[in-house]
Structure 1
Amino acid sequence: MKINILDTHKLYMEMMKLSENRRYDYFDENFLKPFAPVFERTRMPRNPEALSCLSLTGKDKIAENMLVQLVDKNVWHEAHKAIELAVYTLKDTGIKLPEEITLGIFLGDPDKLSQSEGYTGVGSVPGYIQIIIAPNSQNLQKINACIAHEFHHNVLFNNVKWDFMNVTLSQYLAVEGLAESFASFLYGDVFIGPWVTGVSGADLERTREIIEKNLDVSGFMEVRKYIFGDHPMIPESDVLGIPFCGGYATGYHAVQALLLKTHKSIVEATKDFVDGVDVVKQSGYFNI
């Protein structure tokens, strides 16, 4: 597999030398154009705001400080190693891997990312991974696990036809639960994301009760209410009593229950899903 890690450190330093009125064009050409298929496939707006990136203007000192933190952790080199480890783990499994990966690390807006510990990722289009991070001591330790999560999405969608019009809640839970279980397998539970750790106890139990009655709900616009919960992208009128990213947490725990029940590895569970098995319904996590 060819691994392309975009040198966003160099690109940010070059961009900040430009006058502010030239920066959006520069950002689009150098940061976003390499990910054009992502925007085309997902219909996500092609701009830094849609990605929760740090403002391109008026934030140079903040950007410089963020870049120093990323350089200190050698995150671009670490990102390459993270993908190599993920590839090594999934090779020779009968699961088709993308032939090429392009990964970009973008500076994030700490306010927009406040509910997710200052970082997030995008990896649903095979061959492309975007990590958006407002670095801090907590999330810098988790960036490789986030890359593993998004790489797993890359692999899954390279093998499974994803029909947004008809995707079921059970399928979407599996996609997120398998990805985070893959990340925890590679890096340990301590590095799993806030989309899992942020929902526990009574909140998790309530979410499970709501979701288990609706596993066959289909269509992305309906399914997302259960996955994202009380999330900025979900209109207040559509919130179902599920906390922020409650579906992510539920999917993770369902997959963990499956692994415990079947004694299968996360790689074997991934292959089962690729082969059409409804791993969430077979997990034993739900009273169905």
Structure 2
Amino acid sequence: MAVVSTDKWLNEFISARKSTGKDELTSLQCSILCDRLVNLFRDGLPEEIHYTLQQQGLFLPHEEVDVEKLKKHNVWDCVQQEFLYLQRKWNGPSIPIYIFPITQQQTMTNKNGVAYPHSLFLFVGDLEKQELQALLAHEYNHVCRIHILRKTLEDMTLLDSLILEGLAEDVVKELYGEKWIAPWIQSYSDKELLALWETHFLPNLQLQGIEQHGPFLYGGDLPPWIGYCIGYKIVQSYKINHSYHHPLFISSQDLLVGSNFPLQ
């Protein structure tokens, strides 16, 4: 299925917005964009889907968006072509990919993505071609990994989530170079990572439910993005120890066992 023509949805919204009052813009955006996604989310309410997408980076209803500029930069075509390449490379599933402008309130980055077992969403601003390709690869690698694990998001363990993020950053580095990997990778020394691993991560590796893993991945009481960094270092050390360059199909436990992170 691959890339959905959300540019047409966006033009429909922009056209309808001209004759809509400010207090009705949220309902209009929800109707035009999210009514089309109800079946994708197991008949979830459009309002719930809308809220979720806004949390992930969807542009706000009153914000100006330049669809033609995105089309001029071949955003939809670029993602489609790169998806076909990655699908062949990883023997991955065919899923719908939805592309929307990112909110202007997101000042730290001009991109974000979210992967589900059944679909993928990209929220983008003004990106270089390779940056867009790297964003897609990171998120589509998640989709492939989830299908390989054959687990629901509720059944995934903290270890699975760490490896999920580590693998995605590893492929970005492999395919597009270090320029596009996340900056937090170099934020912590190996000594710092191992200390936090032993005190906070090791006792919780079997914690199930991807929604429970946020504090370990993003930080809060823990340092920012610490789980992402640990996952990346697990994958990298496994590859160095085993001279293996395709860890996508290896189990989370085997990747950990072959890494430099102790099991006890």
TM bin, normalised by shorter chain, reads 0.7 to 0.9
**Greater CA drift, 80-89 or 201-210:** 201-210
Distance 1:280 1:16 in 2: 49
Partner SS for 1:159: helix
Q: Does the alignment pair 1:227 with 2:227?
A: no
**More helix, by proportion:** 2
Report how many residues are paired: 253
* Aligned equivalent of 2:117: 125
* Aligned equivalent of 2:38: 36
**Residue identity matched to 2:250:** D
TM-score scaled by length of structure 2: 0.81
What pairs with 1:55-74 in structure 2 (closer than 5 Å)? 55-57=60-62, 59-60=63-64, 63-64=65-66, 67-74=67-74
TM-score scaled by length of structure 1: 0.75
Distance 1:41 1:183 in 2: 34
Q: Residues 204, 16 of structure 1: CA spacing in aligned structure 2 closer, same or farther, 3 A cutoff?
A: farther
* Aligned equivalent of 2:228: 248
Q: Residues 205, 156 of structure 1: CA spacing in aligned structure 2 closer, same or farther, 3 A cutoff?
A: same
Q: Unaligned regions of 5+ residues in structure 2, if any?
A: none
Q: Does the alignment pair 1:279 with 2:259?
A: no
**Residue identity matched to 1:36:** V
Q: By how many angstroms is 1:173 displaced?
A: 0.6
* CA deviation vs aligned residue, 1:191-242 (integer Å, no higher than 9, x gap): 22xxx3135244775345213432341134543211111xxxxxxxxx2231
Q: By how many angstroms is 1:89 displaced?
A: 1.0
What pairs with 1:112-261 in structure 2 (closer than 5 Å)? 113-115=106-108, 117-126=109-118, 128-133=119-124, 135-137=125-127, 141-162=130-151, 164=153, 167-192=156-181, 196-202=182-188, 206-213=192-199, 214-217=201-204, 218-220=207-209, 222-229=212-219, 239-243=220-224, 245-261=225-241
RMSD, matched Cα: 2.9
Distance 1:32 1:39 in 2: 10
Spell out structure 1 runs of 4+ moving beyond 6 A. 41-44
Q: Residues 122, 34 of structure 1: CA spacing in aligned structure 2 closer, same or farther, 3 A cutoff?
A: farther
**Residue identity matched to 2:145:** L
Q: By how many angstroms is 1:38 displaced?
A: 5.4
1:204 and 1:250 in contact (8 A); partners too: no
* Aligned equivalent of 2:104: 110
Q: Residues 180, 38 of structure 1: CA spacing in aligned structure 2 closer, same or farther, 3 A cutoff?
A: farther
* Aligned equivalent of 1:235: none
* Aligned equivalent of 2:8: 10
Distance 2:155 2:44 in 1: 16
Q: Unaligned regions of 5+ residues in structure 1, if any?
A: 92-96, 230-238
Q: Residues 33, 52 of structure 1: CA spacing in aligned structure 2 closer, same or farther, 3 A cutoff?
A: same
* CA deviation vs aligned residue, 1:42-74 (integer Å, no higher than 9, x gap): 9993114233211112x23xx12xx34422320
Distance 2:229 2:217 in 1: 9
Q: Residues 69, 184 of structure 1: CA spacing in aligned structure 2 closer, same or farther, 3 A cutoff?
A: farther
1:254 and 1:283 in contact (8 A); partners too: yes
Partner SS for 1:122: strand
Q: By how many angstroms is 1:164 displaced?
A: 4.9
Distance 1:42 1:283 in 2: 40
1:169 and 1:215 in contact (8 A); partners too: no
Distance 2:57 2:198 in 1: 32
Specify which of 34, 45, 48 is matched with residue 45 of structure 1: 48
Q: By how many angstroms is 1:30 displaced?
A: 4.5
**Residue identity matched to 1:191:** W
Partner SS for 1:55: coil
**Residue identity matched to 1:279:** L
1:53 and 1:108 in contact (8 A); partners too: yes
Distance 1:271 1:28 in 2: 38
